[in-house]
Amino acid sequence: MNSFWNGKRRFVALLMFLAGVFVALEVPPVIPFIQLPGEKFPEGYNIPFTDIRVTNTMVAALIVWIILLLLIAYIARRRPKDGSEVPPGGFYNMFEALFEGLMGFIGGIAGGRHFRLIFSMFMTIFLVVLIANWMELIPGVDTVGFIHPHVKEKYDADSGEYKVITTDGYEIYQGFLGISYVNGQCDWISPADEAAADQAALLAADEAALAAEQDQLEKAAYARYQAKHDDHGEDDHADEAAADEHADDEHSGDAADTDAVAAARQEALDARTAEKQARRDRGCYTGVATSSWEDGYVEPDKSEKKLIPLHPDPSSEDAKLVPWVVLPFVRVASTDLNMTLTLGIIAFVMIQYVGFKALGIGYLTKFFNFSTLFKSPLGGIDVAVGLLELIGDFAKILSFSFRLLGNIFAGSIVLFVMSFLVPILPWPFFILEFFVGVIQAMVFGLLTAIFMQLATVSHHHDDEHDDADAH
């Protein structure tokens, strides 16, 4: 079995690559709607017994903890029971080597009697953040979800009513088994925008015709001027013949002017017609009005206007009245400030906990150092430094939160955009985000371990030790 897999894996990789190329060419990529907070699921998807709506980042966080629990169960099952048992190979050996390497690394930074607590906190944060970050590399995350109408309600102070307004989005179409798909080739265009574009095309055609007519009149006037001055030296008979000839030329010029003006107008209209035909060829249903739009757009009576639906059925005709976006089932949890802020608060609490555990109530003198206020001229500086350190400890929460959020959120946007621009070969960016996920998890866990170790060190102890060395 192993030899078969070792010999055939390259063909499996090639097959997966060709499948990716086929999908990239046949299914146009769609850039998801990007927003900072996690997207809420549609109505009906609430946390049981509450009115809190489930978000896709909440689902991702739940998946992270399920994966972490399965990993714990797997390691506990595969771990040798005693020293005489041979360790199993494969993933367990790799994880054990990683675990021991990180344990030795953290031991060199935060050794001592609080090492177990510090390392446990480091490893937990590292694994949680790492799994959360790597979820952005899984196909379907951020791309598969609910087809959601991209509309919102806005209060109209004049009428005292809520009006439904549209935003950016795509058209949709019904595919296999009645599943709705976002058509990435067709940006949704509102009927009002379509009518405005038609009207603009008509105005552009009229302006082109007017410009062509003016140009032809100027050319004809210049030709008559030249003919009159070039023939002044000939006899009267020749003048009469020339006059007749110029009259014929003027008549033919008038006919040529009419053709040129019509051609200029038609050229401007053909540009709009070609734009509509291009959308029709892509299967779009807006911007391709079948009526004779060249006759001009007449705004219908308000009573005939169809209201914009707030929750249209994707398979109904009302679906054409609104733009649509994909509301993903799962979005990377670390792109939501709720998760990164929670981890930052947990790290802050554990830093204070290990500080009190190591130093007791004396830990507070790190922030409120009034012992030298009246004993030394520099006592005021010690108080100010302590207060600044207190502010710095609270600032760690923001530092932890926004560092992780900014890097992973920006990485997700990079993957969206590059998959849209280069749908066949975005692999370098996936490899980049693979290492970014590792680095950010390591930075978050390592800073937590370092700050926990610093919290166990007494400033007074260092001062007394320095004084003893001086004596």
Distances (CA, A) of 405 to 127, 129, 196, 398, 415: 16, 11, 41, 10, 15
Report d(CA 152, CA 173) in Å as an integer. Answer: 22
Helices 115-134, 337-359: inter-axial angle, 10-degree rounding: 170
Q: Do 301 and 339 fall into the same domain?
A: no
Q: Which of 239, 272, 305 is the last residue of a domain?
A: 305
Report d(CA 67, CA 131) in Å as an integer. Answer: 8
Q: Is the pLDDT of residue 124 over 90?
A: yes
Domain that holds residue 267: 203-305
* pLDDT bucket at 463, cuts 50 / 70 / 90: very low
Pull the structure tokens for residue 121.
Answer: 């906190």
Q: What are phi and psi of 449, to 5 degrees?
A: -65, -40
Q: Do 450 and 362 fall into the same domain?
A: yes
Report d(CA 135, CA 35) in Å as an integer. Answer: 18
- Chain segment 185-216, per-residue pLDDT in tens: 888 888 778 878 888 888 888 888 888 778 77
Q: Which residue has the higher pLDDT, 228 or 108?
A: 108
Q: Do 37 and 129 fall into the same domain?
A: yes
Q: Is the pLDDT of residue 327 over 70?
A: yes
Is the distance from CB of 168 to CB of 34 less than 8 angstroms?
no
* pLDDT bucket at 3, cuts 50 / 70 / 90: low
- pLDDT at residue number 71: 93
Contacts of 374 (CB under 8 A, 6+ apart): none
> Is 213 part of any domain?
yes
Q: Do 361 and 451 fall into the same domain?
A: yes
Q: Is the pLDDT of residue 32 over 90?
A: no
Among candidate residues 356, 354, 449, 351, the one with its CA nearest the CA of residue 392: 351
- pLDDT at residue number 255: 45
Contacts of 218 (CB under 8 A, 6+ apart): none
Residue 185 burial (C-beta neighbours within 10 Å; 0-12, 13-18, 19+) = middle
- Chain segment 328-343, per-residue pLDDT in tens: 999 999 999 999 999 9
Kindly state the percentage of the chain with pLDDT values over 70.
Answer: 81
> Is 193 part of any domain?
no
Say which range, 14-23, 105-114, 264-273, has the weakest mean pLDDT: 14-23
DSSP state of 372: T
The three-state (H, E, C) secondary structure of 74-104, written as one string: HHHHHCCCCCCCCCCCCHHHHHHHHHHHHHH
Residue 345 burial (C-beta neighbours within 10 Å; 0-12, 13-18, 19+) = middle
Kindly state the percentage of the chain with pLDDT values over 90.
Answer: 23
Q: Is the pLDDT of residue 372 over 80?
A: no
* pLDDT bucket at 294, cuts 50 / 70 / 90: low
Number of H helices, E strands in the chain: 10, 6
Q: Is the pLDDT of residue 296 over 60?
A: no
> Is 177 part of any domain?
no
* pLDDT bucket at 386, cuts 50 / 70 / 90: confident
> Is 216 part of any domain?
yes
Is the distance from CB of 55 to CB of 330 less than 8 angstroms?
no
Q: Which of 260, 288, 305 is the last residue of a domain?
A: 305
- pLDDT at residue number 347: 94
> Is 102 part of any domain?
yes
Q: Is the pLDDT of residue 133 over 90?
A: yes
Three-class SS state of 185: strand
DSSP state of 36: S
Report d(CA 368, CA 131) in Å as an integer. Answer: 39
Q: Do 98 and 135 fall into the same domain?
A: yes
Q: Do 274 and 358 fall into the same domain?
A: no
- Chain segment 157-182, per-residue pLDDT in tens: 777 777 778 888 888 888 777 788 88
User: How many other β-carbons are positioned within 10 Å of the β-carbon of residue 336?
Assistant: 25
DSSP class per residue in 254-297: HHHHHHHHHHHHHHHHHHHHHHHHHHHHTT--SS---S-GGG--
Report d(CA 130, CA 442) in Å as an integer. Answer: 8
DSSP class per residue in 213-248: HHHHHHHHHHHHHHHHHHTTTS-HHHHHHHHHHHHH
Three-class SS state of 169: coil
Say which range, 235-249, 279-293, 364-378, has the weakest mean pLDDT: 235-249
Q: Do 448 and 337 fall into the same domain?
A: yes
Q: Do 300 and 337 fall into the same domain?
A: no
> Is 294 part of any domain?
yes
Q: Do 301 and 334 fall into the same domain?
A: no
> How many separate domains does the chain show?
2
Q: Do 300 and 367 fall into the same domain?
A: no
What rounded mean pLDDT belongs to the chain?
A: 79
Q: Do 128 and 44 fall into the same domain?
A: yes
> Is 158 part of any domain?
no
Q: Which of 305, 340, 374 is the last residue of a domain?
A: 305
Is the distance from CB of 118 to CB of 453 less than 8 angstroms?
yes
* pLDDT bucket at 436, cuts 50 / 70 / 90: very high
Q: Do 299 and 351 fall into the same domain?
A: no
